[in-house]
Amino acid sequence: MIKKYCMKDWKMPVATNAVVMDVECCDWNETLFLDVQKTDETLTFCYHLERKDRIYGLGEQVRGINKRGWLYESYCKDDPNHTEDKHGLYGAHNFFIIKGKEIFGCFIDCGGKVTFDFGYSESDRAIIRTKNPCEWYIITGESVLDIVSQFRLAIGKSYVPPKWAFGYQQSRWGYKTKQDIQNVIKEYRKRGIPIDSVYLDIDYMEGYKDFTVHKERFADFEKFVKDAKKEHVRLVPIIDAGVKIEEDYKVYETGKNQFFCKDREGKDFIGGVWPGLVHFPDVLNHEAAEWFGHFYKDLLDIGIEGFWNDMNEPALFYSEEALKAVYEKAGELNWEQFDLNDFLELQPMINQLGANEEDFKRIYHNVNGRKIRHDKVHNLYGYFLTRATMEAIKKELPEKRTLLFSRASYIGMHRYSGIWTGDNKSWWSHLLLNIKMMPSLSMCGFLYAGADIGGFDGDVTEDLLMRWLEFGIFTPLFRNHCAIGRREQEIYQYPSWEQMKELVRLRYRLLPYLYSEFMKAVLFDKMYMKPLCFLYKDDEEAEEIEDQLLVGESIMIAPVYEQNKSGRYVYVPEDMLMIRFVNAFSYKKEIIEKGHHYISMPEGEVVLFVRKNHLLLLGEGGQCVEEAFQGRIGIVGWIDRRAEYSYYDDNGITSDYGEQNIEVLAISKEEEWRLWVNEKEEGLEKRKYWLDMEDGFHFLESIKRKDWNLYTKDRKNNIVF
């Protein structure tokens, strides 16, 4: 059940459209579970925490899966140092679930800053505060997963990218020319390392100007895009929020005095980002959003099929006003008499220029003629920009899927695009952070998500890249991205590239399963990745495990995230079939009993655990996603009675995806082992496919021109497929 609360005399300045379900507004005094207090300035929600209460959610955030014990802040921020002392990152995802003596979910719908003090100031209290008008929702249900599903139903279906976007993607800030990128493609293809896209970071533009292409370094751009596509590689350009102030530049010229955010005096607000001085499109204003969105068409027209929207918190290296103050202060100083106090005054002024919240009070939006100060709606900026992007793309290509993901985000944006988790570092701790963050993102609807594999900033080590790939093969967005000036991070740069190649090839073999699970998570409002305790609710041992995840319905993973480790302890919450991929095409199987086990996991080997009576599908892989769905599909599982799997597949290109694309596979033993494949529209009875189970290979007559390939082996009265 979902209930909405609001204060009639404290209206939100802009409708966030985060929730799409019609929910009637209840009186705020009657809010369930939370004690709500309002003073002139501040709204406070309190909840008494029992010792064993746990808190899950908040999407893109620092720290663990259980969020208890820290102060979190929801205020989209360009901060490349994702250390545990931070309070927030690029996204604002105000949904959480408290589970313990009571269980409920809460979503604070608010465009401005909200703080979540989850037992930080007082260990037995959760205190949520905001100075901004908001609406809030309380969701009750029987389990965490039930609450998540209800919430997701309320916020609308998650974004679905084209299928090729589930392939391996290579990126680097620092590819300066067309030749650099062609070389990347050549190196991957030459070595047979599968790849589906290469990214164009800011250097493809002229002077970092959005919607321009550098004429010399990227000459004959259209042909370049098309040639790459002939090799099954899509090029994905970056688009930044800031528009360079430069005469005769079409975006600037058409936007000035009209579609940009304003300063206090009503002039176009000036900030500094990559291009130098910029204005920011006022995407909260409908016309301005439409105006900015329509520029994507130029790139679509020449064959671009995907974009990443960056710097849209918005990132601000400085505002003109704050920078001027620094200059003025410096001008007042006299070198002869310069003393420590002058230094102490000047230093913070400089240090605080970037991502300074005071600047957000200097920016104004025009929403239907109303002037709204940016800080009150700050968290909506990246969301509205990305929504404008997808709406413009949809106008051009309504039937087609386009890849889009953004750095800044707010719940609601999950319907228009995915996200990547910004500028992480080549640190082991950030691999672990990636593991822990994925389920929280799933809770908030951001299913198409991933981190920069290998780490963005810092110099990656070969073993870290290997381990990160071992985890990354399970994340929907599977992109290796890295910063300029840092150690090269393409797989082929490393002596052990052949082992890494096996990991990528395994990703492509897993795609039928991963894509099917992703799509079912979208269609049925489920989590794509979840912690063990969400499923094994009564298992106390599972409760504290944050470094193992369930991926879809059938499998559990336990990645290695520490250096110099050749294995790890794994908690197995029920008897499972352990599958060890020694390379992409050979694996060993072993039944592992419920309990704690030390499992050897040498670098480059992927170990996964299939739940009993669940099925894992394995394709034949390929050099690109298209190929990965063409061959036969094998079924791997451990079944003692019956297993059923809803297999989702579609053409991966068009927007008419839906439940109609599910086939149900059922395997059970009656007199003999049988496999049924059921095409929904035809009905189970009409379509009965079966086969005799004996040792060895079995082929089933094809359905939708696919052959089903089963592997069998007797073991302890069970059968291992």
Task: Give the three-state DSSP class for 282.
Answer: coil
User: What is the nearest approach in angstroms of ligand GLC to the Cβ of residue 231?
Assistant: 24
102 to 52, 58, 99, 126: CA distances (angstroms) = 11, 19, 6, 14
Enumerate residues 585-614 that contact ligand GLC by CB under 6 A: none
C-beta separation of 307 from 386 below 8 A: no
User: What is the nearest approach in angstroms of ligand GLC to the Cβ of residue 90?
Assistant: 8
State the DSSP code for 502: H
C-beta separation of 292 from 387 below 8 A: no
Q: Which strand (E) or helix (H) includes residue 554?
A: none
C-beta separation of 293 from 391 below 8 A: yes
Q: Which is nearer to ligand GLC, 273 or 720 (CB)?
A: 273
Q: Which is nearer to ligand GLC, 196 or 452 (CB)?
A: 452
User: What is the nearest approach in angstroms of ligand GLC to the Cβ of residue 201?
Assistant: 5
Task: Give the three-state DSSP class for 495.
Answer: coil
Asked if 310 is part of the footprint of ligand GLC (rule: CB under 6 A), the reply reads yes
Q: Which two tokens stand for residue 29?
A: 């005094």
Q: Which is nearer to ligand GLC, 423 or 525 (CB)?
A: 423
CA–CA separation, 366 and 705 (whole Å): 55
CA–CA separation, 527 and 158 (whole Å): 11
487: phi then psi, degrees, rounded to nearest 5: -55, 140
Enumerate residues 496-555 that contact ligand GLC by CB under 6 A: none
CA–CA separation, 394 and 411 (whole Å): 20
Q: Which is nearer to ligand GLC, 310 or 649 (CB)?
A: 310
Site string for ligand GLC, 96-125 (x = CB under 6 A): ------------------------------
Q: Which is nearer to ligand GLC, 111 or 237 (CB)?
A: 237
User: What is the nearest approach in angstroms of ligand GLC to the Cβ of residue 670?
Assistant: 55
Site string for ligand GLC, 238-277 (x = CB under 6 A): x---------------------------------------
CA–CA separation, 615 and 510 (whole Å): 12
Enumerate residues 354-413 that contact ligand GLC by CB under 6 A: 407
Q: Which is nearer to ligand GLC, 49 or 62 (CB)?
A: 62
Q: Which is nearer to ligand GLC, 173 or 518 (CB)?
A: 173
Write out the DSSP string of 227-270. Answer: HHHHTT-EEEEEEES-EE--TT-HHHHHHTTTTB-B-TTSSBP-
Count the site residues for ligand GLC by CB under 6 A. 10
CA–CA separation, 434 and 546 (whole Å): 11
User: What is the nearest approach in angstroms of ligand GLC to the Cβ of residue 242?
Assistant: 11
User: What is the nearest approach in angstroms of ligand GLC to the Cβ of residue 422?
Assistant: 5
Q: Which is nearer to ligand GLC, 460 or 675 (CB)?
A: 460
Site string for ligand GLC, 476-505 (x = CB under 6 A): -----x------------------------
User: What is the nearest approach in angstroms of ligand GLC to the Cβ of residue 382?
Assistant: 12
Name the amino acid, one letter, at 508: Y
Q: Which is nearer to ligand GLC, 189 or 214 (CB)?
A: 214
Q: Which is nearer to ligand GLC, 139 or 353 (CB)?
A: 353
Q: Which is nearer to ligand GLC, 7 or 238 (CB)?
A: 238
User: What is the nearest approach in angstroms of ligand GLC to the Cβ of residue 328?
Assistant: 29
Q: Which two tokens stand for residue 367?
A: 């929403």
CA–CA separation, 82 and 186 (whole Å): 34
Site string for ligand GLC, 437-476 (x = CB under 6 A): -------------------x--------------------
Only one residue has tokens 């329509």, namely 294
Write out the DSSP string of 626-647. Answer: HHHTTS-EEEEEEESSEEEEEE
User: What is the nearest approach in angstroms of ligand GLC to the Cβ of residue 456?
Assistant: 6
Site string for ligand GLC, 664-703 (x = CB under 6 A): ----------------------------------------
Name the amino acid, one letter, at 169: Q
Only one residue has tokens 């003393």, namely 339
Q: Which strand (E) or helix (H) includes residue 332?
A: helix 320-332
- Per-residue b or e along 695-716, where b marks 16 or more CB atoms closer than 10 Å to that residue's CB: eeebebeebeebebbbbeeeee
User: What is the nearest approach in angstroms of ligand GLC to the Cβ of residue 451?
Assistant: 11
In this structure, the strands spanning 409-410 and 91-92 are parallel
Residue number with the shortest CB distance to ligand GLC?
Answer: 173
CA–CA separation, 435 and 674 (whole Å): 37
Q: Which two tokens stand for residue 600?
A: 């050897």
CA–CA separation, 198 and 461 (whole Å): 22
Q: Which is nearer to ligand GLC, 193 or 238 (CB)?
A: 238
User: What is the nearest approach in angstroms of ligand GLC to the Cβ of residue 405?
Assistant: 11
Q: Which is nearer to ligand GLC, 456 or 647 (CB)?
A: 456
In this structure, the strands spanning 35-38 and 409-410 are unpaired
Closest C-alpha among 199, 374, 386 to residue 292: 386
Q: Which is nearer to ligand GLC, 14 or 482 (CB)?
A: 482
Q: Which is nearer to ligand GLC, 201 or 502 (CB)?
A: 201
User: What is the nearest approach in angstroms of ligand GLC to the Cβ of residue 419?
Assistant: 11
H runs (alpha helix) in 333-476? 340-351, 357-360, 381-396, 428-443, 462-472
User: What is the nearest approach in angstroms of ligand GLC to the Cβ of residue 560?
Assistant: 26
H runs (alpha helix) in 116-264? 144-155, 178-191, 221-230, 250-255
User: What is the nearest approach in angstroms of ligand GLC to the Cβ of residue 421?
Assistant: 10
C-beta separation of 632 from 709 below 8 A: yes
User: What is the nearest approach in angstroms of ligand GLC to the Cβ of residue 297?
Assistant: 22
Q: Which two tokens stand for residue 619?
A: 């394709």
Instruction: Give the Cβ contact number of residue 351 at 10 Å.
Output: 9
C-beta separation of 5 from 24 below 8 A: no
Reported as half-sphere exposure (CB side, CA atoms, 13 A), residue 416 has a value of 26
Site string for ligand GLC, 198-237 (x = CB under 6 A): ---xx-----------------------------------
User: What is the nearest approach in angstroms of ligand GLC to the Cβ of residue 79?
Assistant: 11
Q: Which is nearer to ligand GLC, 150 or 424 (CB)?
A: 424
Q: Which is nearer to ligand GLC, 355 or 616 (CB)?
A: 355
User: What is the nearest approach in angstroms of ligand GLC to the Cβ of residue 272?
Assistant: 14
639: phi then psi, degrees, rounded to nearest 5: -130, 130
Binding site for ligand GLC (CB under 6 A): 173, 201-202, 238, 310, 407, 422-423, 456, 481
